[in-house]
Amino acid sequence: MFLFLKKILCTHSIFINFTYIWRNIITQVFMKVLVCISHVPDTTSKINFIEDDTKFDVQGVQFVINPNDEFGLTRAMWLKEKQGASIDVINVGNQSSEPTLRKALAIGADRAIRINSDPNDGFFVAKQISEYIKNNTYDLIIAGRESIDYNGAMVPGLIAGFLNINYVTNCIKLEIDNENVLLDREIDGGKETLKGKLPLIIGGQKGLVEESDLRIPNMRGIMQARQKPLEVIEPYDFNSNTETLKFQKPLPKQAVKLVDSENLDELINLLHNEAKVL
């Protein structure tokens, strides 16, 4: 009788251990991550407008992955390498954005999706991505807190609202253990530590990873990216809520006036009468 009970207990223990291991495998291997990618001009590019300042001139402009999105993509790569997550990247844009998506694939993403439409405004972009997610479930959605072209800082928050899932912006730390999430977000004068559960959307920024952690695609990654799927889908039936009427460059900076360190009267006069700050 004792040996029979021992066998039952051992079998039960093995079953519990197997169940625990299998649950972890299922949670980790099949954790699906979606990274939103913006196709933005490099900050070193010279910006011009055409057609009476109503359109952005793309001639001679180099486009890159939005830096805040790239921080998020790099963090997603850590989740892939440490926990076996799969990574999809998504972009709302025309065919010109495909090299940017291919770069994301070369960095290590598994699949790319391009919604074939011009990204006219943040609401439109968020609505398009949200509709895609409704038909393709993800555990974690990573977006940059804002793009460096329009600095709207609205897309990830709108996606969270449309999908009714939790959202944390200005995220500078992300740790995931099964369905449990521990993260830090930057606030005025410090940081706030939060915990929650998946599914979740975050707005990432520098600090989520450091610039030194960003990955430059190697030749092997570039060759593999050519074989990875890049799916193009037609946009969902939504209209943009805004229309761009005109762009205007900032006024050129005025010439600097140097004042002798001994001539305080002239300095005060310039600050008072020209700069109007006194």
For residue 276, the model assigns a pLDDT of 82
pLDDT, one tens digit per residue, over 16-61 is 344 444 444 444 447 999 999 999 999 888 888 898 888 888 888 8
Domain ranges of the chain: 1-30, 31-233
pLDDT tens sequence across 126-185: 999 999 999 999 999 999 999 988 888 899 999 999 999 999 999 999 999 888 999 999
Nearest alpha carbon to residue 240 among 66, 118, 132? 118
| Among candidate residues 151, 152, 121, 126, the one with its CA nearest the CA of residue 141 | 126
31-233 fold: Rossmann fold (3.40.50)
Per residue in 224-277, pLDDT (tens digit) is 999 999 999 999 998 888 888 888 888 888 788 888 888 888 888 888 888 888
Side-chain-facing half-sphere of 98: CA atoms under 13 Å: 12
